[in-house]
Structure 1
Amino acid sequence: MTIATSRLRARRALLGGAALSTLLLAPALAAAQQADQTAVEEIIVTATKRDATIQDIPFSINAQTEKDIQRSGAVTLEDLSRNVAGLTIQNLGPGQSQVSVRGVSAGQVVRDQPGVKEQVGVYLDESVISLSLFTPDVDLFDLNRVETLRGPQGTLFGSGSVGGTIRYITNQPKLGVNEGVFEANANLTGGDAFGGHVKGAVNLPISDKVAMRAVGYLTRYGGFIDARKEGGKVEENVNSGSRRGGRIAFLIQPTETFNLTPRVVYQEIRANGFNRQEVFNLFANNNTTTRPRIQLGEREQYLLLDESFADNTLLADLTANLDLGGASLTSVTSYISRDIAVNRDASALSGSVSVDLGFPAAAVTLPSKLVDTTDLEQFTQELRLASTGDGPLQWVVGGFYSKVDRVYNQRLPTPGYDAYTDAVLGAGTSAAVANGFSGNSPYNAYLPYDIKQKALFGELNYTLGKLTATAGGRYYDFSETRQFKSGGLFANGDNRTDKTSSDGFTPRFLLSYEASDTVTFNAQASKGFRLGGVNDPLNIPLCSAQDAAIFGGYQSYNDETLWNYEGGIKSRFGGVRFNGAVFYTDIKNLQTTLDAGSCSSRVVFNVPKAHTKGIEGELTARLANGLDIGVSGSLLEAEFDSTVKDGTGAVIGGIREGNRLPSVPKFQISFDVTYSREVFDGANGYLKASIQHVGSRYTQASDQENNPRSFVSNLAFGGATGLVPTVVDLQLPSYEIVNLSAGVEMKDGVDITVYVNNLFDENALLSFDRERGGRARLGYSVGQPRIAGVTVRKSF
């Protein structure tokens, strides 16, 4: 690292520290604000299953409103996360983002770990849509707000909310209202890839008791990754894609005390490739002599076959509300159908195995595609009863049931592979290891899951003067049955059925003290849980003896649980609002993911103890009429409190007491400023700028050990000796993203927004992936480059 780079990072750290100090001193700043400043708009949320303002919610929560979304030009949750303290998003491509809150993270969850459960629950209104790695990227058009509930939400939202909960809240149908909005966008990604979208929403009264709201959208994404191919060819922007879909909802209100809201949501996501930047590939590196030497550059990868991602999501739900007088009964019934197909170029992976097996070069370079498919059907039913009166005692009780049928298939079609297998290993070998699967596919797996969960929950709070106490709990009962069948040369020939089950109780206790009309103090102790599961068997034919011995004993893993303790303040002084919290999280049986060395497998196992602790805050201030600023930031320590060793006494996977939890920055902060004023009669103009700093991270816990790391392919292929190392610094560097936008909002309903996101074209490294322990390829998932665009919106 150069002296200039060191100084730049030092200046960044000082600026970040100064900004966080400003944030923590917000109450003092608030007292200095002028009394005549215009108040900031109140935001109504439903984080406690009842309507309340953010300031009245007795725990840490953020809400990004429809106006926030529009003015920022945000199109994904990752875009919004820059203004939410403690929220971290890893963008692994459309429909594949990973979310963590407050540092509770198991590390990178990858495409072939179907049994891993999510750590942050994601909801579309009342319906849970979380699915580990493949939680849908919900389009942000016609949303009322996006809520981020920090800390475990196990009482009201159940499993998968161990770190927190994200809630997309859509605009609902309105009786007696004709309204709509149309939006068109054009943008340029990375300077040479065009994208854009068209979206529309309409609300129509069908009668005095029925209304309909319909939304439709089509988005084209410009790519920014270039793929080098055989023969010196280069294909540009291979990770372009699209998202299309819509939703239609009806409000049926036959009486003033009863209403129904049936809804259907459908969305298709397509991507032509992945945001992977490679630093080593078996077929493209500087070590070969009989093949062209290739130095892969920024935002480049090497492919023998095209890659793709497809996700079709159908959600049908029905929400019913009945006012019983003093209480309301709510029923939420939802059905989700998902079809996901991931096609990856696995030629380097299969080729690396072929080298180890002594196959000829012609077999090593056979194009090979890894095809992962997920077919999911999920049914959930929630029924709850909640108080509606104004008395000091408020309560909610309910029950929840879910059933998930999920079939995961994996195939490795490699035309011509069986002939080489039989020629080298003996005639009939390929047929002998097929285990009922089709030929010319050296790895195959079939995994059907049957997952059931039942829960009872309740929460009540009582207000006595300025003090409100809340107590709640959730009892859950969970069972999972999974079959695992595998076949092919790289597989074990498994055919087994595994079952796991658990039950437990997660309580929550809160105290809220209203010190004045403008300041409230909160304290909380709450428990969260994440369901356990069963690891897939290792691909023993691909494992070294050492890796098989180390990782072969980790079959099942237990529920992850944590206790969260926090204290917070919510304050408001005229045009200034400051909300902050300090927290400590005690984690038991943290589910941690790591590569099983050379086995081309990944395992999840429990770390007995870990913790996170930190401070977070969000400040919004109206410094003058039309001038608003916002600061949000978090300072975090997330570490293991246990050391896990193998039979030889060596530390496994970096699970060492004091090492950092993976994928989480110690420090992140964002700052935004908006200036608006009337530019001419009937038109309001605004300028908005924001900067987001994300600190350094590690993809996996093991990346902290022996870093920088020397990866030696040990593969004598293409004239390479197999002895030249590829040295990689596995600490993902910090980065800054600067966004600018400007717009005009006219009284006739026309809005025009011009924006540039990632102004300085930062190449953010989001995670690091090593195929087959680095013997096949090494690469990073990277963030989006500079995107400039214009959006025109017409409301009517």
Structure 2
Amino acid sequence: MRYSGKKQSVLLLAGVAAAAMPAAVAAQQTDDGASGDIIVTAQRQEQRLQDVPISVTAFGAEQLRDNNIETVQDIATRTPGLAISAVDPVNTNFSMRGIGSAPGISQNAGGDPSVVVFVDGVYAGRGGTPDLDVLDLERVEVLRGPQGTLFGKNAIGGLVQFVSRKPTDEESFTFEGTYGNYDRIGVIARGNMALTDKIYLSAGLSHKQRDGFEYNETTGNDVNDLNLTTGRVALRFVPTDTLDIILRADVSHQDQKGNPRHNSCDTSFQDGIHCAGINPDPRVVNAYIDGEVKRTIQTYSGEVNLDLPFGTLTSLTALRKVKFNFVTPFFSNPIDPPAQIESTSFGQENNSQFSQELRLAFDAWDGRLKGQTGVYFLKENNDRIEGQIQDFPTPAGSGTGIYPQSVNARSFAVFGQVDVEIVPSLVATVGARMTWERKSGRFAGYKADDGPGLPPPLGSLDGYDVTGKKSWKAFTPRFALNWKATDDVLLYGSIARGYKSGGFQGLSGTAEGASTPYDPEFAWSYEVGAKTDWFDRRLRLNIAAFRTDYSDLQISQLVPLCCVVVSNAAKARIKGVEVEAVVRPFAGFQLDGSYAYLDTKFTEYAIPGQDYTGNQLPRSPKNKFNIGGQYEAPLGDLSAKLRVDYSWSGDAYFEASNIPQQLWPAHENLDARLSLSGPADRWELSLWGKNLTDELTPTYVTYFGPYRQTLTPYAPPRTYGATIAFKI
């Protein structure tokens, strides 16, 4: 069998989804099951989600489990304003409210993301994150819009933070086993115990593996498989009522086959030499090798919280290391077997990151003045070697290009934010962050071997070895006002500035392009919103409207048969509305959903030979929604729960050119989970399915105009399986 499935009708999906739908909105997990509240730290202090005057979507531990959320892509389908694309199974590219870094920026040694990830407060700048279900998470928080004050580091589009459980004095042990199609096997074991009355330990181990989603006709192997192992340990020491120390360590190792691109041609060009012999099945590729993806992430951190008479002092020290190796055959054509036309990208990256944050949370005037202030330091060293191989049927047309990159980055910031109660229930917020950054690097490009008939891009590569350095600074203030009109109605408005660091292109076709830095980008965001509960909290309705003005936008553009060029070429305007709702009409039943309207355009974007002014920003669907729900009912001493998630995202583009060949077409997703649990949740058996309509969704598109070819990796097909869990 070769992975084909028939798409169900949208009409049928809508009917099924309406019968029992998902949850992706505000958060359905909490310390108060009746109200659905969840405690978040979106403003570096513990608050009810409904009391936070910014746009936040949060997922509690129970919701993560019930929705079978494993990856950040699962989070994106359930979050308004968030889109995620991927050029391979490891490197994901976030876009929040239309702002995100393209692969040409975030995946070279000198670039940074526009939407950042924090794991237990630690900035995860490179290498991505492991699947969510291997982390012992307490919650996931998605903050939309610039977060330039309290978080700061490159959070110009927004951020996602993963918060794990802290070790406690409660003894517990959990085991989960999963089996699914594509021979998927998953095992998770977690434990927590008290070593003494003041020292607590938690630890966990996870392993996941499955066969590949695609088939490589040339090698006869399945590709795009999974093999991931993660271990975590946390030690907590609470010597007094005022001192709390947590040491954390986690290691994740991934080793699997690669993700070769499926190649397709315009119908008018099917008989061209670059298109002959291609299998039309999108789940079948013709790469001469399978490729590989290897990644190891290590994170070690120490968090100290000290309660003082005037507040809480927090120190967070972290060391994070990422090693990443990849071989990607992204352009493969069997023109006359065994002869092939091949292009292969390969490389390795070694990144080390040290960070230190010291902050003070304080309150005064009987709680009418609250605030945070602190300093932040980040040191990052990134060594990357990237290469390209061009193979043609004759040795004269084959060659290899190597691009070593080494970048050292430093960032230092001071920040503060205060909330002042002007009159009862009316609070003004003023905050600011001052950031100083410096990047320096060495960049080279040369041909390791060179056939006399080597075509572009390697044929036009002149060897270079250059250095570059640049410093930047940025001031990012925030002003906000929120009014607690009633206990169940919060109204707010805010103005905030965001900042994203400049960088270097790294992978360049010329010495000038490699050594010339691009500058930071800035954004002013204006937002008004309301968070409301109605009918004794049976209905929750949150709404936000926003406008964002961007300047010096960092844009990466593929120049056919050359390279990816990064420049501060654009200004942009973004407007939108986001709505989230939860309805609980009777005990055990819940409906919820969200809708996002996004209007994006370049107000100024022209490069030599092209004017993209007026075009839609990449990865910015105008309309996106999800609906869902759950029903839970007792069965004697047992409990059964059904959840179904349906999401739909409208058309978007992968690049600023907005050409039809790089369209990200409208796509849908349907997930479901049925569980049966024993008394006191001591055990649970669940049956689950994801992408049940077997939707074929591209995660990125690369288009080569001269040959009218499109290279595409795809999201996972329909998957399903069973999971059994035990608690002791």
TM-score, structure 2 length as denominator? 0.89
Other-structure match for 1:267: 252
Trace 1:262-341 onto structure 2 (pairs within 5 A). 262-274=247-259, 276-280=261-265, 286-288=271-273, 293-341=277-325
Shift of the 137–374 alpha-carbon distance from structure 1 to 2, 3 Å rule, reads farther
Q: Tell me which residue corresponds to 2:402.
A: 444
Q: Aligned equivalents of 1:540 and 1:775: distance in 2?
A: 24
* Distance (Å, rounded) in 2 between the aligned partners of 1:554 and 1:376: 20
Give 1:669's aligned residue: 625
Partner-residue secondary structure (3-state), 1:297: coil
Task: Please name the residue that 1:186 is paired with.
Answer: 179
What's the CA shift for 1:87? 1.4
**1:642-653 matches, cutoff 5 A:** 642-646=604-608, 650-652=609-611
Q: Deviations over 1:487-540 (max 9, x none)?
A: 214332111101121001000111110111111101010011111112247426
Q: Which amino acid aligns with 2:518?
A: Y
The equivalent of 1:466 in structure 2 is 425
How far apart are residue 97 of structure 1 and its match?
Answer: 1.5
1:770 aligned onto 2:725: no
The reply on whether 1:387 has 2:349 as its aligned counterpart is: no
1:740, CA displacement in angstroms?
1.4
Structure 1, 333-342 or 568-577: larger mean CA deviation? 568-577
Which among 197, 222, 237 is matched to residue 252 of structure 1?
237
The equivalent of 1:604 in structure 2 is 566
Residue 113 of structure 2: SS of its match in structure 1? coil
1:171 equivalent in structure 2: 165
1:303-329 Cα deviation digits (max 9, x unpaired) = 111211111010000001111123111
Cα offset, 1:135, TM superposition: 5.0
- 1:455 matched to 2:430? The reply is no
How far 1:170 moved relative to its partner?
Answer: 0.4
Structure holding more strand per residue: 2
**In 1, Cα distance between equivalents of 2:53 and 2:43:** 9
Q: Which residue of 1 aligns with 2:593?
A: 631
1:514 aligned partner: 484
Residue 94 (structure 1) aligned with residue 56 (structure 2):
no
State the match for 2:327 in structure 1.
343
* Structure-2 separation of matches of 1:686 and 1:515: 36
Paired position in structure 1 for 2:722: 790
The verdict on how the C-alpha distance between 1:367 and 1:111 changes in structure 2, with shifts beyond 3 A counting, is: farther
Q: Which residue of 2 aligns with 1:208?
A: 197
Of 601-610 and 620-629, the range deviating more from structure 2: 601-610
Give the secondary structure class of the aligned counterpart of 2:701.
strand
Matches for 1:115-134 after TM superposition, within 5 Å: 115-131=110-126, 134=128
Q: How far apart, CA to CA, are the structure 2 residues paired with 1:50 and 1:122?
A: 18
Aligned partner (choices 705, 713, 716) of residue 781 of structure 1? 713
Give the drift of 1:366.
8.0
**Which residue of structure 2 aligns with residue 558 of structure 1?**
519
Of 354, 357, 371 in structure 1, the residue corresponding to residue 346 of structure 2 is: 371
Deviation by residue 1:104-126 (Cα, 9 ceiling, x = unmatched): 13445478633221011101011
User: Is the Cα–Cα contact under 8 Å of residues 108 and 663 in structure 1 kept in the other structure?
Assistant: no
- Looking at structure 2, the residues matched to 362 and 187 of structure 1 have their Cα atoms a distance apart, in angstroms, of 36
Taking only aligned residues, the RMSD between alpha carbons, in angstroms, comes to 3.3
1:739-762 deviation line (CA, Å, top 9, x unaligned):
111111222410111111111111
Name the amino acid aligned to 1:163. Answer: G
- Greater C-alpha radius of gyration: 1
Q: Report the residue type matching 1:766 in the other structure.
A: T
Matched, 1:114 2:72: no
- In structure 2, relative to structure 1, the CA distance for the partners of 1:50 and 1:774 (3 Å cut) is farther
Does 2:648 correspond to 1:686? no
Partner amino acid for 1:512?
N
Choose from 494, 505, 527 the match for 2:475: 505
Partners in 2 of 1:201 and 1:624 — Cα distance? 34
| Within-5 A mapping of 1:739-778 | 739-748=671-680, 749-770=682-703, 775=707, 778=710
Residues 143/278 of structure 1: CA separation in 2 closer, same or farther (3 Å cut): same
Give the match for residue 571 of structure 1: 532
1:651–1:369: structure 2 CA closer, same or farther, 3 Å change rule?
A: closer
Distance in 1 (alpha carbons) for counterparts of 2:13 and 2:662: 21
2-structure distance, mates of 1:308, 1:203: 36
Q: Distance in 2 between matches of 1:775 and 1:382?
A: 51
CA contact (8 A) 2:598 2:622 kept: yes
1:65 maps onto 2:60 in alignment: yes
Length-normalised TM-score, structure 1: 0.81
Secondary structure of the equivalent of 2:65?
helix
**1 or 2, which has the higher helix percentage?**
1
Residues in 2 aligned to 1:582 and 1:111: alpha-carbon distance in whole angstroms: 28
TM superposition shift of 1:597: 2.1
Secondary structure, in 3 states, of the residue corresponding to 1:372? strand
**Closer/same/farther in 2, CA of residues 265 and 583 from structure 1, 3 Å limit:** same
Do 2:109 and 2:407's aligned partners in 1 also have CA atoms closer than 8 Å?
Answer: no
Q: Distance in 1 between matches of 2:139 and 2:491?
A: 25
Residues 685-727 of structure 1, C-alpha deviations (whole Å, 9 max, x = no match): 11111110011111111133xx4xxxxxxxxxxxxxxxxxxxx
Match of 2:583 among 621, 626, 631: 621
Checking the alignment, whether the CA contact within 8 Å between 2:702 and 2:710 is kept in structure 1 is yes
Match of 1:49 in 2: 44
Q: How has the CA–CA distance of structure 1 residues 538 and 178 changed in structure 2, closer, same or farther, with 3 Å as cutoff? A: closer
- The aligned residue for residue 525 of structure 1 is 495
CA contact (8 A) 1:246 1:267 kept: yes
Structure 1 residues 787, 365: CA separation in 2 closer, same or farther (over 3 Å shift)?
A: closer
**What are the ranges of 5 or more consecutive residues in structure 2 without an aligned counterpart?**
1-8, 26-31, 451-457
Counterparts of 1:405 and 1:378, CA distance in 2: 6
CA distance in 1, matches of 2:717, 2:331: 28
The answer as to whether partners of 2:330 and 2:711 remain within 8 angstroms in 1 is no
Percentage identity across paired residues of the two chains: 25
Give the counterpart letter for 1:612 in structure 2.
I
- Equivalent-residue separation in structure 2 for 1:457 and 1:692 (angstroms): 38
2:387 match:
411
What one-letter code is carried by the residue in structure 1 that aligns with 2:526? Answer: Y
Deviations 1:252-300 (A, max 9, x none): 111111121111110012231217332149xx964349x9633432222
| Deviation of 1:478 (Å) | 0.4
Contact 2:108 2:507 in 1 (8 A): no
1:420 to partner: Cα distance:
4.4
The Cα offsets for residues 612-654 of structure 1, whole Å up to 9 and x where unpaired, read as 11000111111111110111110001110013142xxx325xx
User: 1:136/1:407 Cα in 2 relative to 1: closer, same or farther (>3 Å)?
Assistant: farther
Change (3 A) 1:518 1:366: closer
| Residue number in structure 1 paired with 2:141 | 147
Partner of 1:29 in structure 2?
none
- For residue 660 of structure 1, what is the amino acid of its counterpart? Q
Moved more, 365-374 or 520-529: 365-374
SS in 2 for 1:157: coil
Q: Which secondary structure state, in structure 2, belongs to the residue aligned with residue 68 of structure 1?
A: helix
- Asked if the contact 1:411–1:441 (Cα under 8 Å) also holds between the matched residues in 2, the reply is no
CA distance in 2 between partners of 1:362 and 1:478 (Å) = 53
